[in-house]
Structure formats: C-alpha cells, structure tokens
Chains A and B, each alone.
Chain A
Amino acid sequence: MEFKHMFRALVLSSGVSAAGCVGKNVSSTTGAAAAPGVVEKAADSLDGMDCEEICDYGSEAICPDSESGSEGCCWLMMSPHPCCDFVPSVEEPSEGPR
C-alpha cells in the first residue's frame, strides 16, 4: 500500500485552498506554482507522453481520470494516470521585468 500521491496532495499543496477535485477543468486550476514561466520541464515526456500537455501541475496534479471520464486530481483516482508520477521541477520565480 502506498500513499505517495497523497504526499503531493496534502503536504506539497498545503498552500492551496481550492475546492474539490472531481471533474475540475484543467484550465480552471491556478496557483503560484502554475504561474507562466515558473514551471520548467524536468523531462520532455513520460513513456512518450507529453505530461505537461496532458495534465496540469499547478496547485494540484490534475490528469485525465479513466473512471470519471474527465479530469481529476491524481490522489482521487482509482487507477492514477501514468503522468501522475511525472514531477515537473519548479524554479523560483524571477524578479520580473527590470
């Protein structure tokens, strides 16, 4: 039994106070970590998939959920999408335009 997805959902997302995960539209999820230019790809793909295109790694890791047929939080999925294991590296935000 493993709860590694829960670590991300509970601990790493502790600054997030968004409402539920089920059926959330990918584009509706925002958060500091999702700010443009902040997230940098750790790898281009996972098993040939462009995970950063398929999923949203902002405030929650949200990927297609085969059970519900829509997008959902990885930690709620019965069979997590392969991209749920993809961890994009996060860079500190730059100081912005000078």
Chain B
Amino acid sequence: MKVHADPGGSPPALDATQSRFVANTWASRASSERAAALRFERLTNTLRASQAPQAVVDLAQRAVVDERRHIGLCDGLAAHFGWTDPPLPPGPHAAIGPPQASASERLLYEMVSSCCLSETLNACMLRAILDRALSPMIRDTTRSILGDEVHHARLGWLYLEHARHADLGEYLGPLLPRMLRGIGVEHIGAPDPPGWDGPSLAAWGEIDQAARLAIFHAAMRDVVLPGLERVGVPTAQGRKWLASTTESSQPMAPSA
C-alpha cells in the first residue's frame, strides 16, 4: 500500500514501512526539541545570573521560543506520517560539565557542547536535508527550523568568544573528545534499520548512516574545529579523536 504522496511535490510515494521511518524521525526530533527548550530555559536563567552579555541572554531567550515552535512543527510532521503514539518525552537536558569544574567553567562547557557543537551539527544536518529532500512539506519545515538553529549555534560561538576574552576556556581542549562523544554519536553511527530504502527516503529528507557520518565529519572539519581554533581553543585532542573514527559505514567507536 502506498501512502503519503505529497501534493505539489515529486518524491516517490512511501509505503507503510518507509512512512513509519519518516514518522519516527520527526517524533524523535520533537523529543530533542523538547529537551532543547528545557535546556535553553535553564541556560537563559543561568546566563542572566552570571551577567552574560545581553546579546547572549537575548539569543538564549529567543532559543526557548524557537524550540517550542519547533516542537509543534515536528509533532505535526510525525502525525502526518502516521505517528499515533503519545509524543516522546524530552531527551536528556540536565546540566552537563566536568563535576570538578567551577560554575562558570561548567556553564561554558555546556554552552560549547550544546550550541557550538550540537546546534552547529544540527544546522549542518538540516542543511544537508535541504540538499536532498524533494517533499515541499519537509523542505518548508526544515528551512523554517534551520533558520532558527543557525541562531542557536551563533549563541554558543558568541558566548565562547566572550569567555575567551575573559581568558576562560583553555581547559576545553582536552575535553573535546568527551564533548564530541556526547553529542549523539550513537545515533549518528546507528546502522540503517531493516527495510530501509535509501533513495526513496532521501527524497523525504531522511539521512542514512553513511551520510550522517559524512555530515558529522564535515561539520566538525569545516565549522566546529576551525571555530574553536579561531578563538584559541586547542583542538589537537579533538582532531585526534575524529581521526580515530571513520567516515565509512562503521559506527564510531568511542576511543579513550
């Protein structure tokens, strides 16, 4: 049975199995957006309390509103493709950072991990979806979310620059492998499920394992590592960890 032909677009019709893959993607994305909304809500308060620059606080506050909007967009797409279960709960959103670090160091760690790494990777993933999706519905939603995620990544880069001017952040270099492992490598390296029809699903914005790995490496190589180096954060250990992983279909093994 073919379902979910997208009026006005030219992607191939999806059968029930392929449609479920798309529904799962957007339901999972909604879960991530729920977590992001809660994280940015907490970070906004922490940034304000730590007297971060107003531009940073404003961007964080905006991010809360954006992420709440994204939840609705993602839930809507999941339902369109057949998701009938209750929405998935928020993913992990508790504060992160080395337990022994000071409050300001932990805040910087979380801003870099969540914004400079995760949101930057998100933006690159969404950009890659735009490159392959044919479905107007998927493209419109992706473009809308991408326009916001760009600002969430910028929030991190802006805060990092501010921190570096205050001579904070040197300690981040040795922690980069840990940070890189913490931004969802399990999902990025997860094998494609049985029944996965890559070409059809690509037209609906789905990214297979090989492409996810390539996007991850390209995002780190072209954006994240140069961005960290630009403000003098040492990246040798992060580069070494990335080199120890592969862009091929092998899942990324967490190295020590």
Contacts and interface: CB of A to CB of B under 8 A. Distances in A.
Is chain B's interface secondary structure helix, strand, loop, or mixed overall? helix
A76 B146 CA distance: 9
Q: Which of B62, B131, B219, B223 has the most CB of A within 10 A?
A: B223
B128 A1 contact: yes
A10 B150 contact: yes
Nearest to B231: A11
B222 A2 contact: yes
Interface stretch (B42-50, B95-103, B153-161, B191-199): B153-161
B71 interface: no
B153 A10 contact: yes
A47 to B, nearest CB: 23
Interface residues of A, number: 20
B interface, how many residues as a size bin?
Answer: 20 to 34
Contact of A22 (B143, B154, B218): B143
Contacts of A9: 123, 150
B147 A6 contact: no
Given A10-B227, A17-B55, A76-B143, A4 B222 contact: yes
Given A10-B120, A11-B226, A17 B128 contact: no
B165 interface: no
Nearest to A19: B147
A1 B214 contact: yes
Nearest to B153: A10
A78 B218 CA distance: 17
A7 B226 contact: yes
A3 B223 contact: yes
A17 B222 CA distance: 22
B36 interface: no
Given A1-B218, A4-B222, 6 more contacts: A3-B218, A7-B227, A10-B120, A10-B123, A11-B230, A14-B154
Interface of A: 1-4, 6-7, 9-11, 13-17, 20-22, 75-76, 78
